[in-house]
Structure 1
Amino acid sequence: MVRKLPFALILAMSTSVVLAGPPAGAAFDPGTPGSAGAGDPYYPLDGNGGYDVKHYDLAIRYAPASDALAGTVTIRARATQRLSAFNLDLDGLTIRSVTVDGRPAKWSRDGTEVTVTPRRSLSRGHAFDTRIVYDGVPKVIQDPDLGDGGAFTTDDGVVILGEPDVAQAWFPSNDHPSDKASFSIALTVPKDLQAISNGVPAGRSTAKGWTTWRWEQREPMTTYLAMAAIGRFDVTSYRKDGIQFLDAIDPALPAETYARAAKSFARQPEILQFLSGYFGPYPFRAAGGVVDAEGGWGYALETQGRPIYTPQDFETQEDGDSIVVHELAHQWYGDSVALDRWRDIWLNEGFASYAEWLWSEHEGLGTAQETFEQLYATPATSSLWQSKVADPGPPNLFIGAVYDRGAMTLHALRLTVGDQKFFRILRSWAQIHRNGNVTTHEFIAHAERVSGRDLGALFTAWLYTPSKPAHP
């Protein structure tokens, strides 16, 4: 039933609405654009400001015959300011459409920076979904100082990995370690291939000659740790100690290399148990590794929950075991406890290298003290002593000093505070900052708090002074 109101009453109601309006001169706040970078002095345009990503829902279709990738990503984020526009990072691929909260959004592009302008500004605290449809042939991002990263084509597929820049080579993202998020990844490939990614398997389905492999990475992950390996693999999957292990080894590897890789992978539960004794419980639900016969990228990488290796990493059994220890130690230090800024890379590499020293002692191959002394015997003119390890500069992120002197810094700390407090420092650091981001200054403060000592001089000498420190 519809009731009609008297004209006088309608007029009175309409007048009351006018009187209740905003005060004269009040202006609507249109918001401001988020920054085009995350504020990292090493890589000013990596990452973006104004929002915090919570989840990436990534669907990729990859055709090895043409290397063509067709993708859709839904980015769930929360605005940290009133946003009139925001940026994403994408290198080389072609955007077909962008929506924000289901409505078409304007977008523009300048190099690797994609600026998205939603139909209406987003209020601070607003949770929003951005959906981007895109395609193209993903590229390898070349860096003469740091090595290459991105999509490396193989004889039967592709392997996608890299550091520091890789995510933007295959999906639009907030591509900086300071913004971690969970991931759902669906990889659709020809049905005779496997498609491996991060986290735990979440099922697969086949239709019309294509198989979709689904993966769930629930724990927060930095974008550079997202990976994909597509090709023919021998896959081994099992569960132990509450962890889902999944290993993928290319059957085209030379027989001896294959056997060594399989043996090193088989030791992963043992290695994780060993590392857990020093670092605390393993931080993820998934573990495992991938090794492809081609390995043209030339390095192992701690891609979260499932590191990627090259054939050269398994030239001897000891080498294979040691590199697996290194990448698995990164699951605590580098993956779960991630960098806030790239200058603090030693917090990743020094810690993982020290884990190798501990494993060497465990295996009877040399104590941590012996390894320290061998390195300390290096002449003062050596490059080992010529860098500021805690701020090496962008071209030097992966120089040997970051690894070796970073580990030496930890051993110097151990000699200074004693074993009990040292391992309490490492364990509590991993626990307190699990799934978070950290800085060197925070680690120094943590070590001083746990040890009850002023350690400024020690860390200044070992991390910030480009000369050989006194023996601790």
Structure 2
Amino acid sequence: MQSARRSVGRAAAFLLALIVCVPALHAANEKIRLHVDDYQIDATIAPVTHKLTARAKVKFTALEDLATATLELNNALRVTAVTDDKGQTLQAERVSQDNTVRVALPAGLPKGQSMSLTFDYEGTLSNADESPVEGLKLAYVGNDITYLLYASRWFPMSNYGINRFSATISITAPTDFEIIGSGKESSGKVSIAGGESEEPKSAAAKARRQLGNTRDVQAKKEAAPSGATHTVTYTWDKPSFPGTIIAGKFVKTTSSEGGLNLTVWTLDDKKKFAQEYASTATKELFFDITLFAPPISSTLNIVQLPDDTVPSAWAPEIAAIAGHNIGEKVNYRLLANTIAHQWWGVEVSPANKNDWWLNDGFARYTEALYLEHLVGTAGFEEAVKDMSVGALAYQSVPLSSIGTLDVFSPEFQSVVSDKGAMILHMLRFVLGDSKFNTAMRTFAQQNSMKPVTVDQFREACEKIYGNSLVWFFSQWVDSTSAPEFKNKYTIFRMGNGKGFRIVGEISQDLDLFHMPVEMKVDTDGKTENKTIDVVGTNSPYALETFGKPRRITIDPNDRVLKNSTDIQLRTAILRGQALVQQGDLAEALKQFQSALAINKNSSLGHYRIAEVFYLQRNYQAAANEYRDSLNGDGEPRWTEVWSYIQLGKIFDITGQRERAVNSYRQAIQTNDNTQGAMDDARKYLNKPYEREKTSAQQ
């Protein structure tokens, strides 16, 4: 991905980041027939051969009478044996279409009864070919970082992201690998050239020895063919999602500020940034603690991910960030969102797929609240605009029926995250800051380590609010529409110096709409703010001011999710960015062109079209669009500096170094360092830009 798109395309990158927080589930219409209670997993990673060898004992409870147990497992992993509690070998069928393994239960399992199955399996995890998300690498075994993300289904799973479970996970890896997981850590045996030098100390390690066989010995030899291996066990005994393991040749940076046990794990080239990330993470944790009470654990590991996977991932006690997001300038928003999942995901999680916004929407708004705390109102208002765009980018399905969509689709991700966040933003306006904060804190405390529903959240808010909120949740959770306000009014001068009277009507096209709406009246004197209860399509009002009204603005602080020409333009652009991420450049162009139909001078619209032409290597068309972006409305401001940089790259690619140098100098003159623009401009000023060769060219 080119640096300009990676640097400034935050909205599209965010959609991708959500994949780790929006796990793969069965189809919406497939009934969940079992609940996994606990895992006992022993796995060996062999970085040289990219191989994972594992045994997983899965304890589950039948939610209805079962003849077959169906569990999800990454298609790259081959099941070699399945046994029941008595050691009897069972027949397993691999169904690659939905990444599942189906095990016949000869005696069946009645509803409410529990049993365990033990799976032996192995496979090579080196690319995204068998990923549960097409084209996206979620699990990888190799140097220098091995990652087994929960979303990859590297162990047998059911109802991913909803089924809370406990787990004891033992990982064997070369001794120069640090291993990070969730829960209480204990060290097991160390092996040198296949021989154990220490007696296993943990129960899981002892169980591993009892279950030891030729497969285990061979796996250890593959893990470190010319050196030693060690085993680390993580035990998480509370129902949550402790399914992510990250291992690698990490450098450890610790912080114990405020009693927290915070560790930053980076490769050596990122170590210089670790302390600043530790400091930022500490501030964000304490901010969240102030809002929601202490998390279930005071331990947090900030872990570097490679750049070939998602931008971020979370698990109990883990906030993982891709290497390109770790630099001199801390990506505090991405970090804040990822850390927020220690509450909204780890502690409190959705009871079903239609409740998913209680996870990602809550984390997104927590990120926005931290931004408000850090930079003030202006930065927060920009974040609200971004959330409004994401909330209205797709309006085909309401949040209450979001489970009908594919969880990996841009529609699902955009709605659960951004519309979910906007619902909280509007709820804050309705309740007021004090009651809103109390409701959020109480909800988090009372539902710690539990799945929750939207109705439970509504009831918790109603208890604090002191009145019914059915009208609010019906409008925003059960509906897809948003109003577009219009205002008609007449101003009358009142006698005897009493000021002015405004008689008007707010109209919009949603018959069932009901929300309080702010109005800002700019007068010759002071600015006056009023709140109007807007109900139905036409809402009359009457206001009195002392100074003569000059301008009336509806919802000046964006307290209500609403349509406007600016929002329509930005939503078209967001949909186009999502299509670019999917590789559908032709459809992306149509979306960007529809944005220009709304505003032909949109700098952002021209910039995004230029990006598509650049990806297609249509350099002349790209250059024309970058120039149109420079001559447009200048919104957002960063389009100027990055248009100059991109023009410079095009000139370098086409052998026009003098013109390239001039463009880089113009970029530097903007003094806009959005996402490191100045660094890139200076770098290419000193050394010509060279486009990476495609595999076909190599």
Which TM-score band (shorter chain)?
Answer: 0.7 to 0.9
Shift of 1:227: 1.1
Report the Cα distance in structure 2 between the residues aligned to 1:463 and 1:313, rounded to whole angstroms: 33
Say yes or no: does 1:403 pair with 2:414: no
Partners of 1:235 and 1:364 lie apart in 2 by 30
RMSD: 3.1
Match of 2:364 among 347, 353, 361: 353
Change (3 A) 1:241 1:81: farther
> In the alignment, does 2:304 pair up with 1:291?
yes
Mapped pair 1:159 → 2:147: yes
1:133 Cα deviation after fit: 1.2
Q: Which residue of 2 aligns with 1:98?
A: 82
Contact 1:149 1:161 survives alignment (8 Å): no
Which residue of 298, 301, 305 corresponds with 2:317? 305
CA-CA distance at 1:232 after TM superposition = 0.6
Following superposition of structure 1 onto structure 2, how do residues 244-283 of structure 1 map, counting pairs within 5 Å? 244-253=261-270, 258-283=271-296
Could you say if the C-alpha distance between residues 377 and 205 of structure 1 is closer, same or farther in structure 2, counting changes exceeding 3 Å? closer
Whether contact under 8 Å (2:140, 2:147) holds in the other structure is yes
The 8 Å contact of residues 265 and 288 in structure 1, kept in 2 or not, is answered as: no
Question: Superposed, which structure 2 residues align to 1:135-154 within 5 Å?
Answer: 135-138=122-125, 140=128, 141=131, 143=133, 148-153=136-141
Moved more, 438-447 or 58-67: 438-447
User: Of the two, which has the highest radius of gyration?
Assistant: 2
**Percent of matched pairs sharing the same residue:** 22
Q: Who is 1:465 aligned against?
A: 479
- SS of the residue 2:107 aligns to: coil
Which amino acid in the other structure matches residue 429 of structure 1? F
The secondary structure found in structure 1 opposite 2:158 is: coil
Once the two structures are overlaid, the 10-residue window that deviates more, 382-391 or 241-250, is 382-391
The 3-state SS of whatever aligns with 1:106 is: coil
Q: When the two structures are superposed, what TM-score results if normalisation uses the length of structure 2?
A: 0.54
Render the CA deviation track for 1:200-247: whole Å, top value 9, x for unaligned. 32224311211112212222223xx61121221012356566654333
In the alignment of these two chains, the number of paired residues is 417
Query: Alpha-carbon deviations, 1:394-430, whole Å to 9, x = none?
Result: 2235644543332221111011011222112111211
Q: Quote the residue 2:660 is aligned against.
A: none
Match of 2:55 among 66, 72, 89: 72
In structure 2, what is the Cα distance between the partners aligned to 1:314 and 1:401? Answer: 28
SS for the counterpart of 1:120 is: strand
1:215 aligned residue: 234
Alignment of 1:360-375 (within 5 A): 360-366=371-377, 370-371=381-382, 374-375=385-386
Q: Tell me which amino acid in the other structure corresponds to 1:282.
A: P
**Aligned mates of 1:365, 1:205 — CA distance in 2:** 52
Alpha-carbon separation, structure 1, partners of 2:236 and 2:378: 36
Rate the CA distance shift 1:400–1:377 in 2: closer, same or farther, 3 A. closer
Question: In the aligned structure 1, how far is the partner of 2:292 from the partner of 2:282?
Answer: 15
Whether the 8 Å contact between 1:149 and 1:297 is mirrored in structure 2 is: yes
The answer to whether the 8 Å contact 1:200/1:244 transfers is no
Superposition pairs of residues 3-82 of structure 1, within 5 angstroms: 42-44=27-29, 48-50=32-34, 52-82=35-65
1:151 CA displacement: 1.1
Deviation at 1:158, TM superposition (A): 1.9
Question: Any conservation in 2 of the 1:339–1:347 contact (CA below 8 Å)?
Answer: yes
* 1:290 partner letter: V
Give 1:375 shift.
Answer: 4.7
Equivalent position of 2:539 in the other structure = none
Match of 2:103 among 107, 112, 116: 116
Partner of 2:571: none
Q: Distance in 1 between matches of 2:413 and 2:327?
A: 22
**Alpha-carbon shift at residue 177 of structure 1 (Å):** 2.3
Q: Which residue in the other structure is 1:341 paired with?
A: 352
Q: Secondary structure at the match of 1:102?
A: coil
Moved more, 54-63 or 210-219: 210-219
Q: TM-score, normalised by structure 1?
A: 0.78
Hey, what does 2:333 align to over in structure 1?
322
How has the CA–CA distance of structure 1 residues 352 and 450 changed in structure 2, closer, same or farther, with 3 Å as cutoff? same
Q: 1:251 to 1:232 in 2, by over 3 A?
A: same
CA offset digits 1:281-339 (Å, max 9, x no partner):
212353121113x3211321222210211123235635x22222111111111221112
Shift of 1:135: 1.1
Q: Please give the per-residue CA displacement for 1:30-76, whole angstroms capped at 9, x wherever unaligned.
A: xxxxxxxxx9774456x9414x3221111110111111111011122
Pick from 440, 445, 451: which aligns with 2:459?
Answer: 445
Secondary structure at 2:268 match in 1: coil
SS in 2 for 1:282: coil
Q: Give, in whole Å, the separation in 1 of the partners of 2:362 and 2:170.
A: 32
SS of 2:482's equivalent?
coil
Amino acid at match of 1:216: T
| Equivalent residues of 1:279, 1:427 under 8 A apart | yes
Query: Residue 375 of structure 2 aligns to a residue in which SS?
Result: coil
Judged with a 3 Å threshold, the aligned counterparts in structure 2 of structure 1 residues 119 and 236 are, in CA distance, closer, same or farther, namely farther
Task: For residue 442 of structure 1, report the CA deviation from its aligned partner.
Answer: 3.0
Residues 103 and 176 of structure 1: CA distance in aligned 2, closer, same or farther (over 3 Å): same
Alpha carbons of structure 1 residues 40 and 375: separation in structure 2 relative to 1, 3 Å? closer
Q: CA separation in 2, counterparts of 1:377 and 1:121?
A: 50
SS in 2 for 1:422: helix
Higher relative contact order (CA 8 A, sep 6+): 1
Gaps of 5+ in 1: 1-38
1:134 aligns with 2:125: no
Question: What is the alpha-carbon distance in structure 1 between the residues aligned to residue 148 and residue 26 of structure 2?
Answer: 26
When structure 1 is superposed on structure 2, of 430-439 and 388-397 the one drifting more is 388-397
In structure 2, how many angstroms separate the alpha carbons of the residues matched to 1:184 and 1:118?
25
Say whether residues 1:187 and 2:178 are aligned partners. no
- Cα deviation for residue 368 of structure 1 reads 7.8
2:453 aligned partner, one-letter code? T
Contact 1:200 1:285 (8 Å CA) reproduced: no
User: Is 1:48–1:87's contact at 8 Å kept on the other side of the alignment?
Assistant: no
Q: Are the equivalent residues in 2 in contact too, given 1:57–1:74 (CA < 8 A)?
A: yes
Does residue 178 in structure 1 map to residue 162 in structure 2? yes
